[in-house]
Amino acid sequence: MARQPVPASQLSDRAQLLLKALVQRYIEDGQPVGSRTLAKNTGMDLSPATIRNVMSDLEELGFLRAPHTSAGRVPTVRGYRFFVDTLMQVRPLENAAVQSMERELRGAHSTHGLVQSASTLLSGLSHMAGIVMIPRRDSVTLRQIEFLPLSERRVLAIIVVNEREVQNRILHVSRDYTRTELTEAANYLNRLFAGHDLQQVRAQLLAELQAAELEANDLLQRVAEMAEQALSPEARELPDDFVLAGQTNLMGFSELADVQRLRGLFEAFTHKRDLLGLFDQCLRADGVQIYIGDESGYEVLDECSVIAAPYGCPGQTLGVLGIIGPTRMAYERVVPLVDVTAKLLSAALNSQA
Amino acid sequence: MARQPVPASQLSDRAQLLLKALVQRYIEDGQPVGSRTLAKNTGMDLSPATIRNVMSDLEELGFLRAPHTSAGRVPTVRGYRFFVDTLMQVRPLENAAVQSMERELRGAHSTHGLVQSASTLLSGLSHMAGIVMIPRRDSVTLRQIEFLPLSERRVLAIIVVNEREVQNRILHVSRDYTRTELTEAANYLNRLFAGHDLQQVRAQLLAELQAAELEANDLLQRVAEMAEQALSPEARELPDDFVLAGQTNLMGFSELADVQRLRGLFEAFTHKRDLLGLFDQCLRADGVQIYIGDESGYEVLDECSVIAAPYGCPGQTLGVLGIIGPTRMAYERVVPLVDVTAKLLSAALNSQA
DNA sequence: GTTTGGCACTCTACGGCCCTGAGTGCCAAT
DNA sequence: ATTGGCACTCAGGGCCGTAGAGTGCCAAAC
């Protein structure tokens, strides 16, 4: 999306103030705002006629548009954009709210529970849809690995990573191994590689195998065959995924009340691909990202805004979380909410590890 | 739900034939059906006036109703009920379709993949929402159990059941055990109980513990402490759950087009509780169950019908699958679809085990 | 030259009105 | 018992007029 910044210089102070008042007003009650209303509403002592002139300018510049000749004006995407970039002042959440969020997150035990809670918090507090990408840790530390024989040349690999998470994988091997053989192999891996990064382990192992190729080291062969499968990157990572909460909240907004539009949106929720693409962009960003209306580049989100923020440990982004709602949303409240949630989730994940 | 059967004797053959024609016609194009249409449509050589009389009778008996004075008639829940119970003749699926379904299911490897495929099949072929409860096996055969030490008095239990499924569980124990101690405990359990039902194992173990209480058998103590947690029924079973596909299909039906109604429905999908209650009833039933409109007893389903069937091995029901759609659906096509899917899924699960 | 009041204009939303088409209910004739 | 005829009812669509809200423009005022 070409999102060229709007030079504030184009707009007089007065125009900016009026734009701000209009956007706030429109966000509040969803009706197009007319000059009369605005004249009363803002502190400024101006007649409706004057305001009409200013509004006319703002429309010409693309910040406002009129649904029809004799309605008031509503903000365009550009108008919202200028509002969130320059005009709005976010009000930080009250302490009490933050604390109750913290409590909620503390209640979760597993990583998945944490993600679930965060998502519920986002949707509950915003009355829109909350979304949290499953954290994907780039560096996965091997803590322990075990192999158990199953029947028919299948081996069950159990991999404990990051102190808490357990992954199972069924390997198909070239012959049946005995229990002792498997234990040996596991011991070998645990002895040498416990505490190392999973990808490193794999690379190092392959290197070693190359070196020892000539010597027919049976143990190493065995280890290699299984580790190859057990640690392969495709298998390693859970499929990209996210947890969604409060989708149905979106059915309450009149601007999304069209069943066709909703259908598109919900299909995007179930197919996930598009949304993941969008959220991926935020992985490489810093702080709260805002996509207003068609800025996201996905047609189903044309009438929606997405507020997202990455979370993770200081050095490393683990995922992205955010909110989806109609373009007309209370940005001033939602932005800090997303911000705080990201920080709290980060903290919770770190203390957990 | 009080669903008293309707004695066919109440209705003359002619009335039944007309009712059948009307329901079929209405299912086809969704418009209230008038006497004129029906006169032309059915083979019978009757004038519209005569048909009007019959329709009037049918309305009085509660099988039909008129949306307003001068519209045609539409079936009531009772009308649909009589139709599915007595009038309709299901047409079995074509062989080609069944085969392609089989192929689709064969493509799935894990149990979960199978469930997912079944659900997708149901929704894809019916153009409505497909739903499959996660199979819950009452008798879970222990194949192998292993314990691995984690830090801080936590032990990871790995339980392989039913030849294929692996369950992990983190146990909190009274002291740190050494690796050898844990292996001993696991060996003990595997030696004595591999191949037994999980619940039996637990009961037997408790009995043995009682018997040996006086002898301070350290090994047995150890085993008991862990098995108690690892095999506890609450922990054992995955939470009741189901997989849903094609929810968004429901957004295409004009009779459900009201956003409020849809919202209720989708909330039921995410909270799951109500739907699980309904499907639980089918667990104890045999063959295809049909709930029309408010027969389900859940208000959100008032405008919907649910076609469900249990699946599982011959002796044992593992779960329920089905379809959710508007009351006005092609029962003649959907009933065999659900029936066949249940049979295919059962077969697939059995061949897998 | 910015601001303002005044005025004509435009557009939507809403209610009433009429007409048409579809279908019914009833009655008298077959 | 069945039928044709006829009066009646009702939803939906088009049309009109009105009320309300808001605009754009212009000429006067500050």
What pLDDT was estimated at residue A319?
92
Model confidence pLDDT, tens digit, residues B21-41: 999 999 999 999 999 999 988
Of residues B188 and B245, more confidence is placed in: B245
Using CB atoms and an 8 Å cut-off, which of residues 258-287 of chain A contact chain B? 259-260, 262-263, 266-267, 270
- Percent of chain A exceeding pLDDT 70 equals 92
Quick one: tokens of B113?
């993949």
Mean pLDDT of A181-189: 84
Residue B239 pLDDT level (bands cut at 50, 70, 90): low
In angstroms, the separation between the Cα of residue A171 and the nearest Cα of chain B is 12
Of the pLDDT bands very low, low, confident and very high (cuts 50, 70, 90), residue A204 is confident
Å: B68 CA to C17 C1': 22
Please check whether residue B183 touches A, CB under 8 A: no
Residue A182 pLDDT exceeds 90: no
Select the residue of B144, B260, B267 nearest A148 (Cβ to Cβ).
Answer: B144
Cβ neighbourhood burial of B172 (10 Å; 0-12, 13-18, 19+): exposed
Q: Does the distance separating the beta carbons of A247 and B270 come in below 8 Å?
A: yes
Distance CA A299, CA A261 (A): 10
Q: What percent of chain A has pLDDT over 90?
A: 52
Both A52 and A24 in a single domain? yes
Which of A160, A163, A182, A263 is the best substitution to test chain B (most B C-beta atoms within 10 A)?
Answer: A263
What is the predicted pLDDT for the residue at B131? 97
B72 CB-to-strand C distance under 7 Å: yes
Neighboring chain A residues of B170 at a CB cutoff of 8 Å: 166
Task: Tell whether the model's pLDDT for residue A63 goes beyond 80.
Answer: yes
**Which domain covers residue B197, as residue numbers?**
142-236
Q: What is the mean pLDDT of residues B211-229?
A: 72
Q: Are strands A129-133 and A242-245 parallel, antiparallel or unpaired?
A: antiparallel
Cβ distance of B266 and A252 shorter than 8 Å: no
Q: Tell me the C-alpha distance between A50 and A55, whole Å.
A: 9
Question: Would you place residue B184 in the very low, low, confident or very high pLDDT band (cuts 50, 70, 90)?
Answer: confident
Listed as ranges, the nucleotides of chain C within 7 A of a protein C-beta are 3-6, 9-12, 21-27
Q: Indicate whether B238 pLDDT > 60.
A: no
Average pLDDT of chain B, as a whole number: 87
Chain A contacts of B270, Cβ < 8 Å? 247-248
Supply the pLDDT for residue B59.
Answer: 94
> What is the C-alpha to C-alpha distance for residues A341 and A309, in angstroms, rounded to an integer?
9
pLDDT band at B86 (very low <50, low <70, confident <90, very high): very high
B1 inside domain:
no
Strand C contact at CB of residue B56, distance < 7 A: yes
Q: Specify if A2 maps to a domain.
A: no
Nearest C-alpha in B relative to A171: B164
**Contact criterion met (CB < 8 Å) for B163 and A151:** yes
% of chain B residues with pLDDT over 70: 92
With CA atoms as reference, report the closest residue to B166 among A173, A222, A184, A148: A148
pLDDT attached to residue A309? 97
- Give the residue from A177, A212, A236 where a domain finishes: A236
Residue A188 confidence (pLDDT): 84
What local confidence, expressed as pLDDT, does residue A314 receive?
Answer: 75
- Are residues B128 and B247 part of one domain? yes
From CA A168, how far away is CA A173, in angstroms rounded? 16
Q: Are residues B177 and B303 in the same domain?
A: no
pLDDT at B236 over 80: no
Is there a single domain that holds both residue B171 and residue B294?
A: no
For residue A244, give the nearest of B129, B239, B117, B266 by alpha carbon. B266
What does the alpha-carbon distance between residue B344 and residue B340 come to, in Å, rounded to a whole number?
Answer: 6
pLDDT of residue A265: 96
Name the domain boundary from B201, B236, B271.
B236
Phi, psi of B135 (to 5 degrees): -65, 135
pLDDT computed for residue B3 by the predictor: 58
Is B158 near chain A, with CB under 8 Å? yes
Mutate to test the interface with B, among A109, A168, A238, A260 (most CBs of B within 10 A): A168
pLDDT at residue B112 greater than cutoff 70: yes
A215 band by pLDDT with thresholds 50, 70 and 90: low
- What's the number of domains chain B is made of? 3
Residue A322 resides in a domain: yes
Whether residue A246 is found in the same domain as residue A125: yes
Q: Is the pLDDT of residue B235 over 70?
A: no
Which range (A129-133, A325-329, B220-224) has the least confidence? B220-224
Q: Cβ neighbours of residue B305 under 8 Å, at least 6 residues apart?
A: B80, B290, B291, B292, B293, B324, B325, B326, B327, B329, B331
Does the distance separating the beta carbons of B262 and A251 come in below 8 Å?
A: yes
Q: Please indicate if any CB of chain B lies within 8 Å of the CB of A148.
A: yes
**Is position B44 within any domain?**
yes
Measured distance CA(A131)–CA(B200) in Å, rounded: 43
Confidence band of A8 (pLDDT split at 50, 70, 90): low
Q: What is the CATH number of the domain that holds A280?
A: 3.30.450.40
Which of B339, B227, B232, B344 minimizes the C-alpha distance to B289? B339
pLDDT at residue B321 tops 90 = yes
Give distance CA B22 / C1' D14 (Å).
Answer: 33
Task: Write down which residues 9-48 in B have CB closer than 7 A to strand C.
Answer: 31-37, 48
Task: For residues B278 and B134, give the distance between their C-alpha atoms in angstroms, rounded to a whole number.
Answer: 15
- Residue B2, domain member (yes or no): no
Residue A50 CA to C6 C1' — how many Å?
14
CA of A70 to C1' of D20 (A): 10
Residue B94 reports pLDDT greater than 90: yes
* pLDDT recorded at residue A85: 95
Task: Give the A:B interface size as CB pairs under 8 Å.
Answer: 65
Least confident of A348-352, B187-191, B349-353: B349-353
A34-46 pLDDT tens trace? 999 999 888 888 8
What pLDDT band is residue B214 in, cutting at 50, 70 and 90?
low
Question: Is residue B3 included in any domain, yes or no?
Answer: no
Residues A32 and A99 reside in one and the same domain: no
- The CATH number given to whatever domain includes residue A163 is 3.30.390
Average of pLDDT values for B207-231?
Answer: 73
The answer to the question of residue B77 being in a domain is yes
Indicate whether B99 and B212 sit together in one domain: no
- B57 and B177 part of one domain: no
When pLDDT is cut at 50, 70 and 90, the band that residue B166 belongs to is confident
Q: Smallest Cβ distance to A166: which of B156, B259, B266?
A: B156
Q: Residue A253 — pLDDT band, cuts 50, 70, 90?
A: very high
Residues B194 and B245 in one domain: no
Residue with tokens 């099988």: B63
Q: Is residue A1 part of a domain?
A: no
Minimum-distance residue to C2 (CA–C1'): A50
Of B236, B259, B274, the domain-final residue: B236
Suggest the residue from B116, B158, B161, B251 to mutate for an interface test with chain A (most A CBs closer than 10 A): B251
Per-residue pLDDT tens for A254-270?
989 889 999 999 999 99
Q: Are residues B125 and B248 in the same domain?
A: yes
- Using 50, 70 and 90 to split pLDDT, how confident is the model at A5? low
Q: What is the mean pLDDT of residues B308-325?
A: 91
Per-residue pLDDT, averaged over B236-241, amounts to 60
When CB atoms are compared, the residue of A158, A166, A263 closest to B251 is A263
A104 lies in the same domain as A243: yes
Higher-confidence residue of B7 and B77: namely: B77
Q: Report in angstroms the alpha-carbon separations of A276 from A235, A298, A308, B166.
A: 19, 11, 12, 29
Best of A119, A144, A148, A159 to mutate (most B CBs within 10 Å, chain B): A148
Distance A53 CA to D25 C1' (A): 11
Partners of residue B262 in chain A, C-beta under 8 Å: 251, 259, 262
Evaluate if the CB of B66 falls below 7 Å from strand C: yes
b or e along B29-56 (b: 16 or more beta carbons within 10 Å of the residue's beta carbon)?
eeebbbbebbbeebeeebeeeebbebbe
Q: What average pLDDT does this structure show over A322-349?
A: 96
Task: State residue A193's pLDDT score.
Answer: 85
* pLDDT at residue A128 in the model: 98
What's the Å distance between residue A327 CA and nucleotide D23 C1'?
26
Which CATH number belongs to the domain containing residue A41 in this structure? 1.10.10.10
Rounded (5°) CA angle A119-A123-A127 = 180
Same domain, B54 and B179: no
pLDDT at A303: 94
Contacts of B266 in chain A (CB under 8 A): 247-248, 251, 266
**CA–C1' gap, B69 and C17, in angstroms:** 21
